[in-house]
Amino acid sequence: MSLFGSTSGFGTGGTSMFGSTTTDNHNPMKDIEVTSSPDDSIGCLSFSPPTLPGNFLIAGSWANDVRCWEVQDSGQTIPKAQQMHTGPVLDVCWSDDGSKVFTASCDKTAKMWDLNSNQAIQIAQHDAPVKTIHWIKAPNYSCVMTGSWDKTLKFWDTRSSNPMMVLQLPERCYCADVIYPMAVVATAERGLIVYQLENQPSEFRRIESPLKHQHRCVAIFKDKQNKPTGFALGSIEGRVAIHYINPPNPAKDNFTFKCHRSNGTNTSAPQDIYAVNGIAFHPVHGTLATVGSDGRFSFWDKDARTKLKTSEQLDQPIAACCFNHNGNIFAYASSYDWSKGHEFYNPQKKNYIFLRNAAEELKPRNKK
């Protein structure tokens, strides 16, 4: 049975392997559970690049570990390896050739994990936890970009213990994304900076935030020519902003939409409003997924400004998400995100990573 191959007829036959479910709602969408998921909250997920045959998934957790699984077309997941930091792992990314994984941690370091030798070495140092990590592959240089709560953005040649460049941020780095030649960093106090990466990284523009509440996640999107052209920014107030860098008509082209709120968004009744924990763009269709503290994922078409799907509610928040390189697999992590404080933490609750076939559900409606 091929769940994630090109001929996948996922849905009808895919649910039988779970048997009859009782009232347990940890997996209401009946998606595939990744085996041996981390023992504490999962903060980040990343799939291998298209240069690697097959699909490998990396997850970082608050148990200080980074784990790697092979995801087969059948949906079977095989734990391959893991590495440790001495603090929670807040972000992970891959090198473009798929041979290395980079990890950012609360232990104030970033590491490079060579998957072939299964060795991990420190490649970066900050004065506070490292919140974001991205690989930059430019024609004339390659480096790792780390963003930290020490209010700096640093660029590292993995062979040197000193950064190639250090850029000061107005505040602590909360989230970032990179698609060459563009990077975007969102900080505390609603700071928002776009960088250009050609020749060497430099600040391109500071943007007044389109959102009124704390920045939580950001993802760059591309235009029809496959060039980065803007970004989606999510906040703790159940809202996402779609922002183009150079739109023909800024007032019309840039917009925000509500999401991850109880009892719908078009209501005058009081509603619970949740954080948007993650945003990911589909690599083929350009549609997007958001995940939230409400325990739901939603799929959206930003061009048609429509919602394509919202999941049933999981019994805990969804903390992170990502697509694989061809967009056939949507991965999402179900973990407590501490959005309601320590009183709502239940150490008995397991953490899960789920895999869903995303080939059909993220197609824009108007495309036949």
pLDDT score for 264:
59
Give the domains, in start order, of the chain with CATH numbers.
42-133+147-168 (2.130.10.10), 170-315+333-360 (2.130.10.10)
Write out pLDDT tens, residues 279-327.
Answer: 999 999 999 999 999 999 999 999 999 999 999 999 999 999 999 999 9
321-352 pLDDT tens trace: 999 999 999 999 999 999 999 999 998 999 99
113-151 pLDDT tens trace: 999 999 999 999 999 999 999 999 999 999 999 999 999
Per-position b or e across 286-311, b if 16+ CB within 10 A of its CB: bbbbbbbbbbbbbbbbbeeeeebebb
Give the pLDDT of residue 19.
46
According to the model, what pLDDT value does residue 352 have? Answer: 98
pTM, full prediction: 0.93
Q: How confident is the model at residue 367 (pLDDT cuts 50, 70, 90)?
A: low
Confidence of residue 269 (pLDDT cuts 50, 70, 90): confident
Q: CA–CA separation, 84 vs 61, rounded Å?
A: 10
* Predicted local confidence at residue 24, as pLDDT: 75
The DSSP secondary structure of 54-96, one letter per residue, reads SEEEEEEETTSEEEEEEE-TTS-EEEEEEEE-SS-EEEEEE-T
